[in-house]
Amino acid sequence: MAEEQESALQLSPSIAAESEGPTEVSPETATPEPPSSAAVSPGTEEPAGDTKKKIDILLKAVGDTPIMKTKKWAVERTRTIQGLIDFIKKFLKLVASEQLFIYVNQSFAPSPDQEVGTLYECFGSDGKLVLHYCKSQAWG
């Protein structure tokens, strides 16, 4: 499955830092750079670290939404909910007309511009932020 090849790609930090609108994506998966070990966060070093650039997110599917094979991700704090939604939609190969919601506390959808770092501060525990996601046809 294509999902297993994701580790070959590199995330450009500048894109993650301002994911206000749709993030730029390259449709190819062929970037052959090896994953940088510095980018992977063990998630247990500094419990309250402001200096820690990435936070651990555990993604859980709700309802009939496909389950992601990889559920645990290290994500830059400045990544927005919208950026995460875009990522999951591509990962799950959802079509543009399908809506994906992300929830904290399994029930509350943060606004798209909310940064995951903030959510981690508010709702994270045990060194990670648990986010539920659900696909739906919200309108029309």
- Verify binding: residue 17, another protein, rule CB under 8 A: no
Q: Please, which of residues 79-118 interact with another protein by CB under 8 A?
A: 79, 82, 84-87, 90-91, 96-99, 101, 103-114, 118
Alpha carbons 13 and 76: distance in angstroms, whole number: 8
CA-wise closest residue to 117 among 76, 62, 64: 76
* From 13, 18, 29, 66, residue interacting with another protein (rule: CB under 8 A): 29
| Nearest distance, CB of residue 19 and another protein, angstroms | 10
* From 13, 45, 47, 70, residue interacting with another protein (rule: CB under 8 A): 70
* From 17, 53, 60, 78, residue interacting with another protein (rule: CB under 8 A): 60
- Verify binding: residue 125, another protein, rule CB under 8 A: yes
The DSSP call for residue 69 is S
Please tell me the number of Cα atoms within 13 Å of 41 on its side-chain side. Answer: 22
Please check whether residue 29 is in contact with residue 2, taking contact to mean a CB–CB distance below 8 angstroms.
yes
